Amino acid sequence: MIRVAILGATGYTARELLYLLIRHPEVEITTLTTRQETRPAVSEIHPSLRGRLDLTLENLSPREVAKRADCVFGCLPHAASAAAVSDLLEAGCRVVDFSADFRLDDPEIYQQWYNVEHPDPARMPGTPYGLPELFRESIRDAKLVANPGCYPTSAILALAPLLKAGVISPQGLIIDSKSGVSGAGRNPKPAFHFPECNENLAAYAVGQHRHTPEIDQILGTFASVETNVVFTPHLIPMDRGILTTAYADPVGNVEAGAILDVLREQYQDEPFVRVIDELPNTKNVAGTNFCEVTARVVNGKVVTISVIDNLIKGASGAAVQNFNLMYDFPETTALL
């Protein structure tokens, strides 16, 4: 059994992670932390866990956590996460980090977008990006894996194979994403109160969303040139799910069938990516680790549409998928 701890266990992604880990046959959940001074039972924070997990949340240092765990899932905010990860790795733990701290290679870009100096910049370039469908081999032996952002997952899975195959141009990429309210996290903010977000649709952080450099970095890896995406996120009045529509210029004359063939070839052996002919919708992947994607050619533009559950494939499901790879368990364990 692998002893597992979760840092920052009060949020939505931590709750979904606990649902998955409880049914994982090779996992013993030993430690849950919070930065709160009180020590509530986890069932007080997540009542749906009542009778399923009998643990108290504790305010522990990373070194104290490392004495109880072999692998740690970090659900802490950026910067705070990097500092904890460094101590955990030095103590011999393996880590799947949910924050943005190790997704980017360049500390200057990180500082530009996150407005803070990175606590552990030397570790950034060598950390595998935790999208197993595209980076599986680098994840297997990793001590630290950077779990991807939810928006980037939905966009990268749709566009990376097309850039790799050279059927779309890396320039002029437009990504339009719509996310359920849980993507904003559990901490209350005025824009996420029910009277504000219900029956409302709004764009936010236009040209300024922190997932933009993450998308560019990974897509640039597959394009072999720098990309400069226009990424616009929207908040929609539902609990969970992301639908991403991306627009690209084709290279030469291509038809939708050829685009779908590229996607199918890339993902034919992938258990969690379904390339479909019909238009996908979020309800069909809600509560699962699946991504569904399709493509069309419209007035000379390649249009891809992808859907994921932001809390599962966009966060906790991907983390368990990475964990399974790191410990050589079947990749679908606890996810199907």
Q: Which residues are catalytic?
A: 150
**Distances from the Cα of 33 to the Cα of 72, 124, 170, 321, 335, angstroms:** 11, 25, 42, 22, 24
Region at 4 (left for phi over 0; alpha for psi -120 to 50; beta for the rest): beta
CB proximity list for 330: less than 8 A, separation 6 or greater: 324
In terms of DSSP bridges, do strands 144-146 and 230-235 run parallel, antiparallel, or are they unpaired?
A: unpaired
Neighbours of 51 (CB within 10 A): 7
- Look at the alpha carbons of 235, 134, 328, 75 in this order and tell me if their dihedral is positive or negative: negative
Calpha distance 245→50 (Å, rounded): 39
Neighbours of 307 (CB within 10 A): 28
Calpha distance 7→32 (Å, rounded): 6
Calpha distance 269→57 (Å, rounded): 39
* DSSP label at residue 315: I
Q: Which of 96, 162, 147 is nearest to 306 (CA)?
A: 162
Q: Which of 57, 67, 2 is nearest to 35 (CA)?
A: 57
